Amino acid sequence: MIALKRHSIDLYRELAKDDDFPFYYHITGGMRTAYTQDQVDIYKYHIGMAKGMGVEMEFIDAQEVHKRHPLMMPDGMLGAWWDPLDGYIDPSGITMALARAAKKAGADIYRFNPVENITRKANGEFIVHTKNGDITCEKVVNATGYRVNEVGNMLGVTHPVTSMEHMYFLTDTMPELEALDYQVPVVRDPFDDFYSRQEKNGLLVGVYEQACKTFGMDGIDPNFTKDLCPSDLDRCLPNMEGIFERMPALQNAGIHTVVNGPITYTIDGLPLVGQIPGIENAYCNIGLRAGIGEGGGHGKVLAEIIVHGESEWDAWCLDPRRFTQYANTEHTCVKAIEDYRNEFHYHMPHEHRPGSRLARTTPLYPVLDQANAIWGVVNGWERVLCFKPDDQPDFVDEHSFRFTPTKDIVANEIKTLTTNVGLMEVSGFNRYEIRGEGAGAFLDYLVCGKIPTVIGRVSLCYLLNEKGHVLAEATIAKLGDDHYWYGSAAAAEWHDLDWLNRYKPESVSITEMAASHTILVVAGPKARALLQSLSPRSDWSKEAFPWMRVKQMMLAHAEVTAMSVSFSGEHAYELHVPNEQLYLTWKLLNEAGEQFNLSHFGLYATESMRLEKGYRHWKADLIYEHNPMESTIDRFVNLDKPDFVGKAALLKEIERGPKKLFVSMIVDCDIAPAHAGDSLYSGDDLIGTVTSGGYGHRVEKNIAMGFVNPEFADIGTKLEVEILGERYAVEVCEPGLYDPTMALVRA
C-alpha cells in the first residue's frame, strides 16, 4: 500500500508538469498523531517498512507536531508519524490530466453516457449497452465507485462493497492561518477520529463518527450524479467537541460549507483490484476509500494484471478472490461500518474484530467455545488461536507488536503437546477432489515437481505461474486411479480454483470440499498410540502407515481419511473428517485421550512450530515475486520433467541467477518478534525484508524469515533488523532449527 501511494505521488507530480494544463497539487507533509504506545509502535513499524521500499518517513515528538502545525495542541500526545510527501490535490484537475494522458495513448472517452446493461456474445466478447449506443469489447472493467453493484448486477455478481455517508466541513478564513507563511500539514488523528488540511486560509475537517450511516443500501436514484447527501453534523458532535479542544482556533471559526457524500468500503478496508472471480476478461477497480491517494497505484496494478496476468508486486491484499462466498451484502455492510468507525485505527497483529463473525463455523464451534477458545478468522472461518488457561477464564489476548502474556500460554500448549499428544481443529482448509480421465497428467503439468504416482501417497507440491514464479503450495494425495485430493491454505480457495480451472481438461471434474470436511490434527509422541487405541482393526504402525501416506481408517465407528503429514514438526496425523462425523470423532479422541494426557492447541502454537521447522506460509513467505530457487524450495522442482507451467521462464531465471534468496534467521530481541515488512540491514545497506516472524518455544529462539540479497544468505551471516524503530542483531541460520534430521515426523 505504501508503494501504491508513492507511485501515485510520482505519477501526479509528473502530470502536474504540463504547463498547458496545470492543476493544483500541493505537498504540505502529513502526520498521523499517536496517543498510545501501541500507536507509536505501529507507526514505527510502518516507517521501518517504508525504508525497505526507499520511502523516507519519520516519527516526531509532540512538541514537533505543534511546531509544524501550530493549531494542533500537543496535550496527551506522544508524537506523530510524519510523511514529508503527503498533501492534497485538485480532484477535477487530476481527473482531467489522467483523461488527457489516456487520450494521447489512444483511448476514447465518452462523457454523460450512462451504461444501461452489459451482455456477452457467444465468442466471449462483451457488449456494453449505453444510452448512446453499444460498445463491443474483449475486456471490461468495473470502476464505478458507489454504483459498483449496479454494474456488478449487470455481470451477474454482487461485489463485497458498501458505501458510507461521509461528512467534512470547510471553515471561513482563519487569522491564525493567514499569519503563517506556509500551509499547515495534513492531520489524521485517531483520538477524535478526524482529519484536517488547509483549504485556502481556512481548514477542511473531516469526521469519522461512531453514529455513522450507510448509503444506497436500498438503491440509488439514477439522477444522483453530482448530488450530495443532506448534511447532518449533529451525529458528529461527540467528535467535534474533542476536535475543537485539539484545535482551539476552530472555536472562533465559522463553518461555511458542509459536504456529505458517499465513500466506498470493502470488508477489510482495502480495495478490490483485479479479475472479477468467475468471469473471464472482466475486471474491477472498486472499494477505493482512498481513491486519489492510491489511485495511480491501483491503475498500475490493474493495467499490469490485464496485460500481463499479474502485477509487478504480489498484490494479494487487493485481489478480489480474497473474499469468497461468505461475503454477502449484509456481511459487507457490518464490516464497512466497523471499518469506518476505525478509520485511523490500524489492525494490530492477530487482531480479529467482532463485526460479521460466525460467518463460517464447523459443528465443533460451540464445543470449543465452551472450552474457552480464543478465536480468529481465516477466509470467514472461525479458527482457534489458543485456549484460555483453566484458572484464567477472563484472560484477554492482547494485541501488540510486542510480546504479550499470550506467549506463555502458547508455550504451555506446545510443551504439553510435545510431551504427550495434542489435538487441533483446522477449519476451512481448502480442499478439492479432482478426478476423471487425465487428472494425473493435468496436475503433473501444473506442478513443477513430482506429484504422487502411487495410490496412497502424499506429496507437497508447488505450482508456478507462466513467469516461473511461485503461485501456490498444495498437498496432493492420490486416492485412486485419476482420483486426487488437492489441499491448500484456506485463503487460497478461489485463487487456486481459478488457476486449476484455467488449465483443466473437460474430462476432469473439480469438487469443492472445504465446507463438507474438516481437519483434526493429532500431534505429539503419543499420537500413534492414541489413534491405535481407537482402531482395533486398523494398523497405525510405522511399517503399515509410514510418513507421507494417506489411508481410509476407522476410529471406533467413525471413518476418516488420514494422512501421515506434519506442519508442526512433531509426529502427527491429519484426520480429514466429514462434518456429520466431526463431533463424534472429536468426542472419541478426547475420551480416549484421557489416558494419554491429551491437550488442545491452536493456530498460535502451529505458527510457532512451523517457524522452527522452516515451513513457509502462503502469501507471506511464498509470493509470486520470486521463483522457487530464490524461495529455496528447489528440492521440490524437477527440471527433468518434459514440461510444466513456467518451466521455460524458470530456466531463463536460473541462468540469470537469483535476485534474492529466502533465509531463516535468529533475532536477538527480547521485547518483540520481527514482523512482515521489517527491513534487514548489513551495516547501513538495506539488503532484505522480513516475511514472517515469531518465537520458537521448543528451541527458545526469536525466529524470522525473509528475503535477502544472495551474498548475505550464507549460514552464520550477521545482519541487523529494524524492529519498532530500533536495530537488533540477526544471524542467518539453518531453516530447520527443530529436529533438523526430520526424525520425529518420520517416526
Nine cell digits for residue 347:
489492525
With a cut of 80, say whether residue 3 has pLDDT above it: yes
| In contact, 287 and 270? CB cutoff 8 Å | yes
Sign of the CA dihedral with 219 first, then 224, 230, and 233 last: positive
| In contact, 522 and 589? CB cutoff 8 Å | yes
pLDDT at residue 223 in the model = 87
In a domain, 465, yes or no: yes
Q: What is the pLDDT of residues 65-120, one digit of tens each?
A: 999 999 999 999 999 999 999 999 988 899 999 999 999 999 999 999 999 999 99
pLDDT at residue 363 in the model = 98
- Find the mean pLDDT for residues 390-412: 97
pLDDT at residue 562 in the model = 98
With a cut of 90, say whether residue 21 has pLDDT above it: no
With a cut of 90, say whether residue 52 has pLDDT above it: no
Q: How far apart (Å, rounded) are the C-alpha atoms in residues 129 and 126?
A: 9
Identify the DSSP state of 429.
Answer: -
b or e along 569-599 (b: 16 or more beta carbons within 10 Å of the residue's beta carbon)? Answer: bbbbbbbbbbeebbbbbbebbeebbeebebb
CA torsion 647-650-656-657 (nearest 10°) is -130
Residue type, 396: V
pLDDT grade for 293, boundaries at 50, 70 and 90 = confident
- Find the mean pLDDT for residues 387-414: 97
Q: What is the pLDDT of residues 222-263, one digit of tens each?
A: 889 878 999 999 999 999 999 999 999 999 999 999 999 999
In a domain, 579, yes or no: no
Nine cell digits for residue 194:
478526524
Beta strands in 650-743 (DSSP E): 661-667, 679-682, 685-696, 701-708, 718-723, 726-733
Mean pLDDT over the full length of the chain: 96
Identify the DSSP state of 138.
Answer: S
User: Of 378, 369, 494, which is closest to residue 426 (Cα–Cα)?
Assistant: 378
- Find the mean pLDDT for residues 651-674: 98
In a domain, 244, yes or no: no
Nine cell digits for residue 5:
501511494
Listed in sequence order, the residues at least 6 apart from 392 whose beta carbon sits closer than 8 Å to its beta carbon are none
Side-by-side strand order, sheet with 509-512: 458-464, 470-480, 483-488, 430-435, 509-512
Q: How far apart (Å, rounded) are the C-alpha atoms in residues 146 and 159?
A: 11
- Find the mean pLDDT for residues 519-530: 98
pLDDT grade for 371, boundaries at 50, 70 and 90 = very high
With a cut of 80, say whether residue 310 has pLDDT above it: yes
With a cut of 90, say whether residue 368 has pLDDT above it: yes
With a cut of 90, say whether residue 51 has pLDDT above it: no
Q: Cell 494479494 appears where?
A: 316
- Find the mean pLDDT for residues 477-505: 97
What's the alpha-carbon Rg for the chain, to the nearest Å? 27
Beta strands in 417-549 (DSSP E): 421-426, 430-435, 458-464, 470-480, 483-488, 509-512, 517-523
Q: How far apart (Å, rounded) are the C-alpha atoms in residues 437 and 431?
A: 20
- Find the mean pLDDT for residues 356-365: 98
Whether the full predicted model's pTM is greater than 0.75, yes or no, is: yes
With a cut of 80, say whether residue 684 has pLDDT above it: yes
CA atoms within 13 A on the CB side of 545: 21
pLDDT at residue 121 in the model = 97
In a domain, 501, yes or no: yes
pLDDT at residue 439 in the model = 98
Backbone φ, ψ for residue 141 (5° rounding): -125, 130
State percent of the chain over pLDDT 90. 94
pLDDT grade for 455, boundaries at 50, 70 and 90 = very high
Q: What angle separates helix 2-15 from helix 91-104, to the nearest 10 degrees?
A: 80
With a cut of 90, say whether residue 61 has pLDDT above it: yes
User: Of 200, 252, 190, 235, which is closest to residue 34 (Cα–Cα)?
Assistant: 190
pLDDT grade for 141, boundaries at 50, 70 and 90 = very high
| In contact, 627 and 414? CB cutoff 8 Å | no
CATH code for position 487: 3.30.70.1400
What range defines the domain where residue 451 resides? Answer: 430-512
pLDDT grade for 292, boundaries at 50, 70 and 90 = confident
Backbone φ, ψ for residue 477 (5° rounding): -115, 135
- Find the mean pLDDT for residues 346-355: 96
With a cut of 80, say whether residue 158 has pLDDT above it: yes
With a cut of 90, say whether residue 53 has pLDDT above it: no
In a domain, 490, yes or no: yes
Listed in sequence order, the residues at least 6 apart from 180 whose beta carbon sits closer than 8 Å to its beta carbon are 70
pLDDT at residue 24 in the model = 81
Identify the DSSP state of 146.
Answer: G
- Find the mean pLDDT for residues 597-607: 98
Q: What is the pLDDT of residues 628-659, one digit of tens each?
A: 999 999 999 999 999 999 999 999 999 999 99
pLDDT at residue 451 in the model = 98
- Find the mean pLDDT for residues 304-324: 95
Listed in sequence order, the residues at least 6 apart from 367 whose beta carbon sits closer than 8 Å to its beta carbon are 583, 586
pLDDT at residue 5 in the model = 87
pLDDT grade for 25, boundaries at 50, 70 and 90 = confident
In a domain, 22, yes or no: no
pLDDT at residue 585 in the model = 98
| In contact, 158 and 269? CB cutoff 8 Å | no
State percent of the chain over pLDDT 70. 100
Q: Domain tally for the chain?
A: 1
pLDDT at residue 7 in the model = 92
Q: What angle separates helix 406-419 from helix 603-613, to the nearest 10 degrees?
A: 70
In a domain, 472, yes or no: yes
